[in-house]
Amino acid sequence: MQIIRYMIVANITSALVYEHEIYADVGDTVNLTCNLTTKNYVTWLVPPNLQQYAVGNSLNTKLMMFLDFKLIRNIDSIEILKILNFSNQNQGQYRCQIKEDEINFNVFPSVTPSNITIVNETTSKEIVAFEGHTCQLLCRVASGLPAEKLSWSHAGEVLVEGGPGNIAYSFIPSRYDDGENFTCSVYRKSTQILLMRNIRVSVYFKPNVIVNISPSDTVVEGNSLVISCIHDSNDKDATIRWIPECQETLKTSGQCRIDSVKRTAAGTYTCEVVSKVGRVRNSSTLNILYAPDISIYALSINDSCIYLECIAKGIPDVPVFARWQHRSSLGTPIRLLENSSVLCIQPNSYKDHGLYICNVTNYIPNNGGEVWLQKTYNKTYSGRPFFTTRNKRVQYAAFRKLKKLYFYVVSGLKITIDESKTFTNLPGINNISNCISSRDIDDVIYDVNVKVTGYEIIVETIIDDAEGFGNYTIHLANSAGTTEFEFEVKSAGLCKQCSIKMSFCKSDNSQVKLNTCIEEDIDLDSQLTFLSTTTELSQQSASDWETDNASDRNNFNQPNKQQKLSNFKTSVKSSMG
């Protein structure tokens, strides 16, 4: 191989002087062409020191012994000096002359460039770059002779050419340049590659970050879920941080696991990926569905209405209300009311006291699996003492026997008995304030038999004469006012419903006849005593009865019958006494 560089060095007067640089490899054949066309003889001077080698066809025989040259003339009469099997001894200056014109040939042995390197190359044979920042590829060689050319190429396309000694190529990489190979080439001719070096470019880029919630970003309270941080960072040392901090982070996969999720876990979860490029964040929102929390607020609007509002707060916030339930204070169902979130009840109505139950759903089950949920408002009775329907307007007492009178009252406030007005003439009454006890009692509310919490009042009395029977009033009071209840105490034996009407008449035999002579009410409690007395009477001698004639029997119904009846009652009382 020979490389020739032509240069016109000077133009002195009319003479032409040409300078050529020729580089040849050892063993090459070097052609020195003397382009001075002439019919005159050409003189050739050779190194060292420009010794005369030939004049025309005459050769220096001494030099011929040491030099492997050949002199030829082509068809155009141009002489060519061939240096055969070039070696370092053949280097130097050659000249062809024709009179005053000359051409100088400087022949040098060529030097191949070496030691190709890429600046900032890592031990893993790569260049580290960052997305969006300028990356420079710098290739260097130890230059040779003649001077070499260098180029950078990618995927078969030449990006830049230059040299000698080095070449740089700058570009702004993207993530798509990561892992791409670039080639630095050193050459003298485009087809003669002397050196080549490939380098891999590793581009650290801002990763794409995705926060994924599985099985869904909307879950029911109490279920389990996994929040995953998915990114495509090519930095093997990249780390993940959760905001807010996840207590159950799986570091190997960047997953945040939540078992039995609570409603307080709802919100935005942010994954931050920290790499050599910087920090990149992305977020996703977790929605927790849960059954509503129910509360009931009571507001007194006026004397005729207490406004109950049932408030249900859950997710989704679309509560569906069923009909209100009205139950007794002990839970007995009474009635169904409006199917809405609001209700108006009378504030001091006894029949409207009790439990008001709001039924609501948003179709999300609670932890117990219940879809329909309830909240109860207890409307206590705050009016005056109320005597229930169980109270009897008529109570029966046996003559001269202990009688317990029962009264049943409902009051949400502490009650007292006004002793100054109650049972003022009922015999045998004392310490009536201690006869009140709390208990569950029966009542009828809105035509429904119910049990309610109330008071039982037991009053003990002994009626020992007829004046003890009659009408009485019990007065009860609380902080809301006073209520009275009127009732009648009747004799268990002297009432028309349970009395036995008997007639007593004289007879010819020793038996008491039931007749229509006279009627009198007989105390049922005294029947046994009365029958005993009448038995004794029936056992009297027939002669005692025979002394009375028919007229006397008729006189039994005359005015003196009251005296006889009085004597008879006295006799009966004596027998009872």
Report the top-level CATH class of 386-491: mainly beta
| 190-204 exposure pattern, b = at least 16 Cβ within 10 A, e = fewer | eeeebbebebebbbb
How far apart are the C-alpha atoms of 269 and 280, rounded to whole Å? 14
CATH number of the domain at 290-379, please?
2.60.40.10
Instruction: Give me Rg for the CA atoms of the chain.
Output: 67
Query: Could you tell me how far CA 13 lies from the centroid of its own chain?
Result: 100
**Which tokens in the block code for residue 219?**
């879950």
- In the prediction, which pLDDT does 31 show? 93
Reported as half-sphere exposure (CB side, CA atoms, 13 A), residue 517 has a value of 18
Same-fold call for 7-109 versus 386-491: yes
| Paired tokens of 441 | 């009692």
Long-range contacts of range 469-472, CB-CB < 8 Å, 24 or more positions apart?
Answer: 469/397, 469/494, 470/425, 472/422, 472/423, 472/425, 472/426
CATH homologous superfamily of domain 7-109?
Immunoglobulins (2.60.40.10)
- Rounded to an integer, what distance in angstroms lies between the CA atom of residue 358 and that of residue 323? 7
Say how far apart CA 553 and CA 509 lie, in whole Å.
Answer: 14
Helices (H), 345-464: none
Q: Cβ contacts of residue 8 below 8 Å, gap of 6+?
A: 16, 17, 18, 19
Q: How many angstroms separate the Cα of 273 from the Cα of each of 210, 229, 242, 253, 280? A: 10, 9, 9, 13, 5
3-state secondary structure of 567: helix
pLDDT averaged per 10 residues, the chain (length 577): 47 62 91 79 91 89 85 81 92 90 92 93 93 96 92 95 94 95 88 88 95 95 93 92 77 78 92 93 96 94 87 95 94 93 90 95 94 94 92 91 91 83 62 78 94 90 85 90 92 51 36 37 40 37 38 42 44 40
Please tell me the predicted confidence (pLDDT) of residue 468.
84
Task: Give the closest residue to 521 by CA, choosing from 426, 403, 399, 405.
Answer: 399
Q: What CATH fold (topology level) applies to the domain 116-204?
A: Immunoglobulin-like (2.60.40)
Map out the domains of the chain as residue ranges: 7-109, 116-204, 290-379, 386-491
**DSSP3 helix / strand / coil % (the chain, rounded to 5):** 10, 50, 40
Q: What pLDDT sits at residue 497?
A: 38
What six digits make up the tokens of 49?
Answer: 């020191």
Can you give the pLDDT at residue 284? 95
Q: How many CB atoms lie within 10 A of CB 466?
A: 11
Please tell me whether the overall predicted TM-score, pTM, comes out greater than 0.75 for this model. no
Q: What is the pLDDT of residue 550?
A: 40
CA distance 167 to 138: 6
